[in-house]
Amino acid sequence: MTDWLLSALVDWGLPLLGIGTFLSCLALPIPSSLMMLSAGGFAASGDLALGGVMGAAYLGAILGDQAGYQLARAAYRQLSDRLTGRRKTALALARAQHFLDQRGMAAVFLSRWLVSPLGPYVNFAAGAARMRRGAFTLGSVTGEAVWVLAYVGLGYSFAASIEALAEIASDVTGLLAGLVLMVGMALWMRHGVRRARLRARQPESTGATPRNGPE
């Protein structure tokens, strides 16, 4: 499928790229990052227009984010049952919810490019939690700008080494996602320890009635 998508980019160009980034934001297995790298390479060779590539990828990603957010906001219960039916998906959704709870709008921004595997699930979590649309949109439009500029720009600059670049980018993205999750879990555990210590320090109630003064 990946080979077909990349070869079809030359024929279908910008519409296919926009559809690819749109669907990837809905947690469908579309190699959108690789598509952007390749489209950047095609732009460098003159087969596609660089501005059009960036515009199509960016528009598809923004619309995909909004679709995922709205879908979860409107039909969370039904969507949640479908998403949590598989263990791997349920785990990703739980991590996204925790990431969103800890970071809010920053989580939306960072999950567009730094931990992009969590991006679609952050969309669902934000919609289900009824996060303010303005805050979600601001994190989305800024984060997707970084994502598109980074991948299309790398493809354009290193058109002769796209395969090696794609492998490196995939490894780095996975590493960063793991590191962010580890940090998040460490912060959550530290918060739990602090709460336990505070509870332990609270004096136990003796049940005695305080005196108001000598009778």
pLDDT at 84: 65
**Mean per-residue pLDDT of the chain:** 79
User: Distance between CA 63 and CA 140 in Å, rounded?
Assistant: 10
Please indicate, yes or no, whether the overall pTM of this predicted structure exceeds 0.75: no
pLDDT at 5: 72
Give the tokens for residue 77: 């219960």
Could you give the residue ranges of the DSSP H alpha helices within the chain? 2-24, 32-45, 50-74, 76-83, 87-103, 105-113, 119-128, 133-157, 162-201
Q: How many CB atoms lie within 10 A of CB 7?
A: 11
Predicted confidence (pLDDT) per residue in 24-38, tens digit: 999 999 989 889 988
Higher per-residue confidence, 157 vs 53: 53
Where residue 90 falls among pLDDT bands split at 50, 70, 90? confident
String of DSSP letters for 95-115: HHHHHHHHHTHHHHHHHHHTT
For residue 75, what are the CA distances in angstroms to 45, 105, 127, 152? 44, 22, 9, 34
For residue 37, what are the CA distances in angstroms to 87, 142, 176? 31, 19, 19
Give yes or no for residue 116 having a pLDDT over 80. yes
- Mean pLDDT of the 120-125 span: 92
pLDDT at 145: 97
- Domain regions of the chain by residue span: 2-199
Residue type, 40: G
